C-alpha cells in the first residue's frame, strides 16, 4: 500500500506535470499566445483587404465615368487635379497664416 508521503509526492508530481504542460501549451511557438497574435494579424489584414477592394471599386467606377466622358466628372477632375479654369474665370488662392498673434 502507498503511504501518505508517497501519495502526496505523486499528487505534487502530477500537479507539476500539469502546470508544465499548460505553460508549454500557452507559451511555445505554436501555443495560444502565438495563435492569438496571428488571429489579430489575420483580422487586420482582412480589414485592409476589404478597404482596398472598396477603394479599387471606387477607382473602377471613376475610370468608367471618365471613359464615358461625363462632363461634370471631367470638369471636376480638370479643376481639382490640373488646376484648370473655364475661360473668363479667375482663381483665388487662400494661404494659411502660420502664426496668428491674438
Whether 40 and 46 have beta carbons less than 8 Å apart is answered as no
Whether residue 91 contacts residue 83, with contact meaning beta carbons closer than 8 Å, is answered with yes
The pLDDT, as a whole number, for residue 97 is 76
What is the per-residue pLDDT for 43?
97
| CA–CA gap between residue 38 and residue 43 (Å, rounded) | 9
H-helix segments, 28-89? 32-67, 71-82
Helix (H, G, I), strand (E, B) or coil at 17: helix
Model confidence, pTM: 0.52
Residue 92's pLDDT is 77
User: What does each of the 102 residues of the chain score in pLDDT, given as a tens digit?
Assistant: 457 778 888 888 899 999 998 888 877 888 788 888 999 999 999 999 999 999 999 999 888 887 888 888 888 888 888 888 878 888 777 888 775 554
Residue 33, C-alpha cell as written in the block: 499566445
Amino acid at each position: 500500500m502507498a503511504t501518505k508521503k508517497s501519495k502526496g509526492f505523486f499528487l505534487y508530481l502530477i500537479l507539476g506535470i500539469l502546470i508544465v504542460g499548460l505553460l508549454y501549451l500557452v507559451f511555445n511557438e505554436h501555443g495560444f499566445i502565438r495563435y492569438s497574435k496571428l488571429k489579430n494579424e489575420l483580422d487586420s489584414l482582412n480589414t485592409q483587404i476589404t478597404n482596398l477592394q472598396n477603394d479599387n471599386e471606387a477607382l473602377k467606377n471613376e475610370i468608367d465615368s471618365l471613359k464615358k466622358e461625363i462632363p461634370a466628372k471631367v470638369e471636376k477632375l480638370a479643376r481639382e487635379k490640373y488646376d484648370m479654369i473655364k475661360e473668363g474665370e479667375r482663381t483665388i488662392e487662400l494661404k494659411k497664416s502660420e502664426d496668428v498673434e491674438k
